[in-house]
A = this chain, B = another copy of it.
Amino acid sequence: MRFILPEIRELIASRKKRTIRKVISYFEPADIAETWPELTPEERLTLFNSLDTKFAADIFEFLDDKFKLELLKVLSPEKKKAILNEMSPDDRTDFFALLPKEEVEDLIPLLEEGEQVKARELLAYKKNTAGGLMTTDYITVPENITIGQVLKIVRTKAKDIDFIQNIYVVDKVNRLKGIIPLKDLLTTSPNRKVDRVMNKHFVSVNLDMDQEEVSKVFEKYDEVSLPVLDTLGRMKGVITADDVLDVIEEEATEDIFRFGASEAPEQYMSASAFSIAKKRVIWLIILSLAGFISGTILEYYSFLFSNLVTLSFFIPILMNTSGSAGTQAATFVVRGLATGEIKLADLWRVVRKEFLIGILTGIIAGFITALRAFILQGDIMLGFTVAVAMIVAIVIATSLGGILPIVFKKLGVDPALMSGPLITTILDSTTLLIYFNITMILLWRL
């Protein structure tokens, strides 16, 4: 959408507020927000001040955090007040979460009374729970009225709400009793009573449910929006599927980076090399310290290959193949745990499966390595030794790759921390031990 940039700059340069407002309204707020980094601070302010409140608030919600903070500093008190009142409660809460507590306390009084209560309530929930994801923009109706009366309520409230899929029916203490899809309001006779029409069986999520759990509920039931209830079953908010899209993307990104032995960065292209290096170096230090163990093993058994230097030629291939086999197994299990396909109780079934997979793939990799030893070194016994070592090393690799993420999860540690590089580092040591011991048993007996 970069092509709209020259058009927008020219428009801003004209300084005709009314023209700017009109032309900009043809664009999507998300597209305007995307041009933000390319505009100068003055251009941003002129543009923002030209827009009507609704459209300005829409754009504001799509801006990167740093631009939101920039605007907050330069906007007039009236504009600030208007924007904050117009924002949807969930996006406003995310914005407040960026600010120091005192600043939020200064801003909340700018909100209308009803919004103040909502804002304080939403701020109390943890960011990555259902409470932190939900919006408080929804419509509730009592059980004992007619559909005609519901229609009246909806007509007065619908304007201020972006997305309405369902009307929520609550009892006197706000417990959710049923759901009426908005479309059913159109097809049902206005004289019918709400409690005869409403759907009494519905899926909901708990206020303190982790966002990853929430996304699984959405995926399982194929829902577009879900009500959020507290432990007493009282209606607290609504989560829509578009918010869950971001959660799934976020969680997948986090897993991928952990598995790649790093913390996920906020940004890559705009971050400094120094800040990215900081995110990686701790892992690198841990891994290189762990790597000393394999060096020590090598040192301890060095008498073996100072006698037969050929033995050392197979060290890289053994370490590399077992590391890859272990990474493969860990990938399957880490992902299976993340999607919920593998449960903690499955530990032994996973071990059995990975053990078998290790034998199957180990035999093939062992055969290839034996062939190389035979062809290049012409030594049948060496080939046999290397092949046996390869099979055992791969069986250990797939088994550990399967076990360790589950053990991590049992210990309450994120299984994705059992990353590719970490499992590879661990397997380097086991592989060397296996190789040298098998060599001593098989070759030294000759």
Interface residues of chain A, those whose CB is within 8 Å of chain B, are 25-28, 30, 62, 151, 154-155, 158-159, 161, 163-165, 182-187, 201, 203, 215, 218-225, 240-246, 248-249, 252-253, 255-257, 259-262, 265, 267-269, 273-274, 276-277, 280-281, 283-285, 287-289, 291-292, 294-296, 298-299, 302, 305-306, 309, 312-317, 319-321, 323-325, 327-328, 330-336, 339, 341-342, 346, 349, 353-354, 356-357, 360-361, 364-365, 368-369, 372, 420-421, 424-425, 428, 432
Whether A320 and B424, one on each chain, are in contact in the complex, defined by CB atoms closer than 8 angstroms, is yes
**Contacts A260-B259, A298-B315: A203 and B28 contacting too (C-beta < 8 A)?**
yes
Whether A328 and B260, one on each chain, are in contact in the complex, defined by CB atoms closer than 8 angstroms, is yes
Whether B165 and A187, one on each chain, are in contact in the complex, defined by CB atoms closer than 8 angstroms, is no
Chain B residues with Cβ below 8 Å from A165 are 163, 165, 224
Whether B269 and A294, one on each chain, are in contact in the complex, defined by CB atoms closer than 8 angstroms, is no
Whether B421 and A280, one on each chain, are in contact in the complex, defined by CB atoms closer than 8 angstroms, is no
Whether B246 and A219, one on each chain, are in contact in the complex, defined by CB atoms closer than 8 angstroms, is yes
**Contacts A256-B335, A298-B316: A327 and B245 contacting too (C-beta < 8 A)?**
no
Chain B residues with Cβ below 8 Å from A328 are 260-262, 280, 283-284, 421
Q: How far is the CA of A161 from the CA of B187 in the complex (A)?
A: 12
Q: How far is the CA of A272 from the CA of B265 in the complex (A)?
A: 37
Whether A420 and B298, one on each chain, are in contact in the complex, defined by CB atoms closer than 8 angstroms, is no
Whether B299 and A313, one on each chain, are in contact in the complex, defined by CB atoms closer than 8 angstroms, is yes
Chain B residues with Cβ below 8 Å from A432 are 316
Q: How far is the CA of A253 from the CA of B251 in the complex (A)?
A: 12
Interface of A is mostly: helix
* Closest residue of B by beta carbon distance from A62: B222
Whether B361 and A284, one on each chain, are in contact in the complex, defined by CB atoms closer than 8 angstroms, is yes
With beta carbons under 8 angstroms apart, the residue of B248, B253, B335, B368 that contacts A339 is B253
Q: How far is the CA of A215 from the CA of B246 in the complex (A)?
A: 10
**What's the nearest-Cβ distance from chain B to residue A265, in Å?**
7
Whether B317 and A294, one on each chain, are in contact in the complex, defined by CB atoms closer than 8 angstroms, is yes
Chain B residues with Cβ below 8 Å from A331 are 256-257, 259-262
**What's the nearest-Cβ distance from chain B to residue A363, in Å?**
10
Whether B341 and A284, one on each chain, are in contact in the complex, defined by CB atoms closer than 8 angstroms, is no
Chain B residues with Cβ below 8 Å from A154 are 183, 186-187
Chain B residues with Cβ below 8 Å from A262 are 328, 331-332
**Contacts A163-B165, A256-B256, A276-B357: A313 and B335 contacting too (C-beta < 8 A)?**
no
**Contacts A201-B27, A221-B30: A342 and B309 contacting too (C-beta < 8 A)?**
no
**What's the nearest-Cβ distance from chain B to residue A3, in Å?**
16
Q: How far is the CA of A182 from the CA of B25 in the complex (A)?
A: 21
Whether A327 and B273, one on each chain, are in contact in the complex, defined by CB atoms closer than 8 angstroms, is no
Q: How far is the CA of A45 from the CA of B330 in the complex (A)?
A: 39
Whether A421 and B268, one on each chain, are in contact in the complex, defined by CB atoms closer than 8 angstroms, is no
**Contacts A186-B151, A242-B241: A319 and B321 contacting too (C-beta < 8 A)?**
no
Whether A288 and B268, one on each chain, are in contact in the complex, defined by CB atoms closer than 8 angstroms, is no
Whether A298 and B284, one on each chain, are in contact in the complex, defined by CB atoms closer than 8 angstroms, is no
Whether B158 and A187, one on each chain, are in contact in the complex, defined by CB atoms closer than 8 angstroms, is yes
Q: List 29 A-B contacts (CB under 8 A).
A: A28-B201, A154-B183, A155-B186, A182-B182, A224-B224, A240-B241, A245-B248, A248-B248, A252-B252, A255-B256, A256-B334, A257-B335, A259-B420, A260-B327, A281-B360, A281-B364, A289-B368, A292-B317, A292-B372, A294-B320, A295-B317, A295-B372, A296-B313, A298-B312, A299-B313, A306-B306, A312-B312, A323-B424, A324-B425
